[in-house]
Structure 1
């Protein structure tokens, strides 16, 4: 809803989620209710910074106003359907929104820091062959508020400040661009989660038009590319959703991105035994990344039950790091978190639906 609230009566927006209401719309609503403008700022603080789930908790608002707000607006909110605890301290959540749609997110604590991996869509339409989420298809895209609420749920469960967020969970963020950017801006805002822009990362399969758009945004958000192969035939098989965006076009676009932003992108590479971990695949990866500003994140594949794909050995992962280093490309092996729980995106949802959790 983009129309100004001044053109509508309060009844016309009955029970609208306050996370979808802009500041100007909220001010207009309060004016129609005979309330001063400063109440909007108070309400937004309760919603975005304190993450309250009940209007009655807004203690600096008059009781009558709290009751009136609850008649016209909702506070959205998520219900925790399932939670898994890893021995390494990670927590994986299956959260349900009021319309029944479920998504997964993860909290990963370390050394007085808390990282969150959040989803931008319920399901995914990209169809990556090794991904549990892709097997279920796309249910719907999330709103910016729903993306934000995942982070706040993790924050409140850990009772700790979130220091970084990666939008690397379910879904392709750049197929839900506006909501993704809106969530990033609210996560970055001092009137939101207050997380530094460089600690907010978007992971994309390589949707080239949106990478170009992202490069022109004013914020210093970080970009990660799910590469997984630098051989066109292999990548097409693994990632059919981005077949139309060739590796050559991606290579050129990433050169543009670096020139425009001066920021170093990360290339994610999940090693799959006998598929993208061969000597030919390694040579192609070195050619793709050398002489460019890039960091390669080698990922030990999370095995998904029923999948034909298996993870490569630790020795092979180390060889990838060594060979990339020899051509001047910094590479690291991502520390695997939650390996003793349903670590891969989509697994927890599948197991809950199957009655296994």
Structure 2
């Protein structure tokens, strides 16, 4: 009897341990494709990488439509790429690697091969950061990250397996998003690098880097009436969102800078451009399209509601407008059809 009780007790103990272990397993990232933290989206090698609550997933772009009369195809996927310790805030891809802003844990450099069929479990490089990693950008061998109240920081990633710290810089605001641009000199050759920072209620910060990229030569600030959250390089300047107060363009080559804005329906969370057309992920208002052929005189904005959920990120591949939307996952629209239908939509006057 005692041996039977012992065997029963051991069986219950084993089942309990097994249940606890299963409860601690990381979920498959494909289960959370519609979570609110679905805020990373980029194109890489004819595929779409998307960030979720738990890591990265891959979608494959379908073949181009044979004719304009056929419906826009959906992406094929998702396929899990890698599980990560926190939500993916932003992504940047270079050949063979994806740089991930992974929140409080910092930055993750993930080897990427679209032909891989199983989730990645090794070879991931971790960079601990002073603040939560909200955005990353790479230019050549320079990696820059936006770290919220801690400003920005940079690393040399000539060897991506061993990043070397370069500098940290207080931006005086809340660094949400970062972009890097190579500046051309009078002879057209690269002259230096400029880092642009979506700096929250402090506007847009501009950092001119030294030739060795190890320090900041000059800082500047473009004041804004709203909370600047997202940037996009466009023509000779920047498109930027300023909270619920609109989408703006600034020509950074002018002194003083000249700013032109259009109203948004919600907080713009993602910006893309195709030629003269600017497409914004306008939160609960859906997609926002603006003809911006004259940077200082934008056309009237047109909204395309998505139904339930909010537009978080947007990117363009040929005629496909790819949107990451809350509660809807990834959606694909035809850019030409969106442009053609703008004339029949109600328009708001630009500011």
- TM value normalised by structure 2: 0.32
Higher strand fraction: Structure 1 or Structure 2? Answer: 2
- TM value normalised by structure 1: 0.32
Higher helix fraction: Structure 1 or Structure 2? Answer: 1
**Higher relative contact order (Cα pairs below 8 Å, separated by 6+ residues):** 1
